[in-house]
């Protein structure tokens, strides 16, 4: 599946589209700023989240992190587990905050 830009994700929020949003950063990063994703740290809990979502392999899943690197790895992990519709947020939270400053 093709990755997603912050603008495309914002459109999905605005249209109230249905998708699963997962933040793969660490707890302290998630606490500082997040866009509503469920926290599943790449380092500690993503493997459990993948198992938990086993029956959602056809659902759209969007993963994000600080810059897009960790979420790129998370996307690979989901894909290797058989998920078919996983998208990485390009530029991550750095890009989001650049385009949509608070």
Residue 65: active-site member:
yes
In 10 A of CB 76, how many CB atoms? Answer: 12
Is the full-model pTM beyond 0.85? yes
Structure confidence by residue, pLDDT tens digits, 41-75:
999 999 999 999 999 999 999 999 999 999 999 99
Q: Alpha-carbon distance 13 to 7, whole Å?
A: 10
pLDDT of residue 71: 98
What domains, with CATH codes, occur in the chain?
A: 6-99 (3.40.250.10)
Spot the catalytic one: 50, 65, 86, 89: 65
Task: Kindly report the average pLDDT of the chain as a whole number.
Answer: 97
pLDDT of residue 102: 78
Mapping DSSP onto H, E and C, the string for 7-29 reads HHHHHHHHCCCCCEEEECCCHHH
């Amino acid at each position: 599946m093709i990755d997603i830009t912050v603008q495309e994700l914002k459109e999905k929020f605005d249209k109230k589209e249905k998708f699963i949003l997962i933040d793969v950063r660490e707890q302290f990063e998630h606490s500082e700023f997040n866009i509503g994703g469920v926290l599943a740290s790449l380092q500690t809990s993503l493997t459990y989240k993948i198992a938990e979502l086993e029956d959602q392999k056809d659902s759209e899943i969007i993963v994000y992190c600080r810059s897009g690197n960790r979420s790129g790895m998370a996307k690979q992990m989901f894909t290797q587990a058989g998920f078919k519709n996983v998208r990485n947020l390009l530029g991550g939270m750095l890009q989001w905050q650049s385009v949509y400053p608070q």
